[in-house]
Amino acid sequence: MPMEKTFDAAEAEARLYEAWEKAGCFTAGANASRAETFCIMIPPPNVTGSLHMGHAFNNTLQDILVRWHRMRGFDTLWQPGQDHAGIATQMVVERELAKAGKPSRREMGREKFLETVWEWKQQSGGTIINQLKRLGASCDWSRNAFTMSGAPGAPAGEEGNFHDAVIKVFVDMYNKGYIYRGKRLVNWDPHFETAISDLEVEQVEVDGHMWRLRYPLEGGATYEHPVEWDEDGNPTAFETRDYLVVATTRPETMLGDTGVAVHPEDPRYKHLIGKTVRLPLCGRSIPIVADDYADPEKGTGAVKITPAHDFNDWEVGQRTGLRAINVMTTRAAMWLKDNPDFAEGCDPDLVAKAIERLDGTDRYEAREAIINEATDDGWLDGIDSDRHMVPHGDRSKVAIEPYLTDQWFVDTAKIVGPALDAVRDGRTKILPEQHEKVYFHWLENIEPWCISRQLWWGHQIPVWYGPSKEELDAYPAVYSGLPQSFCAPSFEAARELASQYYGEDVQIGEFPSTGPARSYAFGWNGPKLSIDLQRDPDVLDTWFSSGLWPIGTLGWPEQTDELNKYFPTDVLITGFDIIFFWVARMMMMQLAVVDQIPFHTVYVHALVRDEKGKKMSKSLGNVLDPLELIDEFGADAVRFTLTSMAAMGRDLKLSTQRIAGYRNFGTKLWNAARFAEMNGVFEGYAPDGTIPQPAETVNTWIIGETARVRQTVDDALAAYRFNDAANALYAFVWGKVCDWYVEFSKPLLMDGTPAQQAETRATMAWVIDQCLILLHPIMPYITEELWGTLGQRDKMLVHADWPTYGPELIDAQADREMNWVIGLIEEVRSARAQMHVPVGLQIPMLFTELDAAGRAAWDRNEALIQRLARIESLEAAETLPKGCVTIAVEGGSFGLPLAGIIDVAEEQARLEKTLAKLEKELGGLQGRLKNPKFVESAPEDVVEETRELAAAKGEEADKLRAALARLAELA
Partner RNA sequence: GGGUGAUUAGCUCAGUGGUAGAGCGCUUCGUUCACAUCGAAGAUGUCGGGAGUUCGAAUCUCUCAUCACCCA
Instruction: State which residue, 41 or 726, has the beta carbon closest to RNA.
Output: 726
- Type of residue found at 933: K
DSSP, res 690: P
Instruction: State which residue, 267 or 924, has the beta carbon closest to RNA.
Output: 924
Crossing angle for the helix pair 656-678 and 626-633, to the nearest 10 degrees: 30
Q: Cα separations (Å) of 820 from 894, 917, 951, 961?
A: 13, 20, 16, 21
Instruction: State which residue, 42 or 828, has the beta carbon closest to RNA.
Output: 828
148, 459 Cβ separation under 8 angstroms: yes
Q: Assign 678 to helix, strand or coil.
A: helix
Q: Cα separations (Å) of 579 from 547, 575, 585, 596, 609?
A: 12, 7, 9, 19, 19
Instruction: State which residue, 389 or 482, has the beta carbon closest to RNA.
Output: 389
CA 241: distance to chain centroid? 57
Instruction: State which residue, 859 or 936, has the beta carbon closest to RNA.
Output: 936
Of 568, 574, 549, nearest to 147 by C-alpha is: 549
CB of residue 730 to RNA, shortest distance in Å: 7
CB of residue 661 to RNA, shortest distance in Å: 4
Q: Assign 447 to helix, strand or coil.
A: coil
Instruction: State which residue, 564 or 931, has the beta carbon closest to RNA.
Output: 931
Q: Which residues contact 744 (CB under 8 A, 6 or more apart)?
A: 698, 861, 864, 868
CB of residue 747 to RNA, shortest distance in Å: 12
Q: Which neighbouring-strand residues pair with 389?
A: 205
Instruction: State which residue, 327 or 950, has the beta carbon closest to RNA.
Output: 950
Using CA atoms, how far apart are residues 790 and 796, in angstroms rounded to an integer?
Answer: 12
Of 385, 382, 388, 386, nearest to 213 by C-alpha is: 382
| Residue 414 labeled ligand binder | no
CB of residue 281 to RNA, shortest distance in Å: 30
Q: What angle do CA 826, 827, 833 make, to 5 degrees?
A: 85
CB of residue 901 to RNA, shortest distance in Å: 14
CB of residue 952 to RNA, shortest distance in Å: 9
492, 535 Cβ separation under 8 angstroms: no
Instruction: State which residue, 215 or 766, has the beta carbon closest to RNA.
Output: 766
- Type of residue found at 79: Q
Interior/surface letters 174-205, b for 16+ CB within 10 angstroms, e for the rest = beeebbebeebbbbbbbbbebbbbebbeeeee
Q: What are phi and psi of 121, to 5 degrees?
A: -60, -45
CB of residue 929 to RNA, shortest distance in Å: 10
Instruction: State which residue, 19 or 929, has the beta carbon closest to RNA.
Output: 929
Instruction: State which residue, 174 or 722, has the beta carbon closest to RNA.
Output: 722
CB of residue 300 to RNA, shortest distance in Å: 21
Instruction: State which residue, 141 or 442, has the beta carbon closest to RNA.
Output: 442
Using CA atoms, how far apart are residues 848 and 530, in angstroms rounded to an integer?
Answer: 114
Q: Cα separations (Å) of 512 from 110, 503, 536?
A: 11, 23, 10
Alpha-helical (H) ranges within 336-445 are: 340-343, 348-358, 363-377, 416-424, 434-444
CB of residue 101 to RNA, shortest distance in Å: 39
CB of residue 408 to RNA, shortest distance in Å: 20
Instruction: State which residue, 60 or 89, has the beta carbon closest to RNA.
Output: 60
CB of residue 619 to RNA, shortest distance in Å: 14
Chain positions contacting RNA, by CB under 7 A: 5-6, 198-199, 203, 389, 434, 437-438, 441, 577, 611-613, 615, 645, 647-653, 657-658, 661, 663-664, 666-668, 671-672, 674-675, 678, 723-724, 727, 730-731, 734-735, 738-739, 742-743, 746, 826, 829-830, 833-834, 839-840, 913, 921, 924-925, 928, 931, 933-934, 937-939, 942, 945, 949
Of 889, 821, 817, 824, nearest to 853 by C-alpha is: 817
CB of residue 665 to RNA, shortest distance in Å: 7
CB of residue 802 to RNA, shortest distance in Å: 24
192, 404 Cβ separation under 8 angstroms: no
CB of residue 740 to RNA, shortest distance in Å: 8
Instruction: State which residue, 283 or 299, has the beta carbon closest to RNA.
Output: 299
Q: What angle do CA 146, 150, 153 make, to 5 degrees?
A: 115
Instruction: State which residue, 77 or 698, has the beta carbon closest to RNA.
Output: 698
Using CA atoms, how far apart are residues 643 and 726, in angstroms rounded to an integer?
Answer: 6
CB of residue 675 to RNA, shortest distance in Å: 3
Instruction: State which residue, 161 or 574, has the beta carbon closest to RNA.
Output: 574
Concatenating the DSSP letter of every residue in 757-809 gives HHHHHHHHHHHHHHHHHHHTTTSHHHHHHHHHHHS--SS-GGGPPPP---GGG
Q: Assign 182 to helix, strand or coil.
A: strand
First-to-final CA distance of the chain: 59
Using CA atoms, how far apart are residues 566 and 143, in angstroms rounded to an integer?
Answer: 13
Of 246, 252, 251, nearest to 298 by C-alpha is: 246
Using CA atoms, how far apart are residues 138 and 127, in angstroms rounded to an integer?
Answer: 16
Using CA atoms, how far apart are residues 613 and 104, in angstroms rounded to an integer?
Answer: 42
Q: What's the per-residue H, E or C state across 278-329?
A: ECCCCCCEEEEEECCCCCCCCCCCEEEECHHHCHHHHHHHHHHCCCCCCCEC
Q: Which residues contact 252 (CB under 8 A, 6 or more apart)?
A: 334, 363, 364, 366, 367, 370
Q: Which residues make up each annotated binding site for ATP?
A: 618
Specify binding-site residues.
618
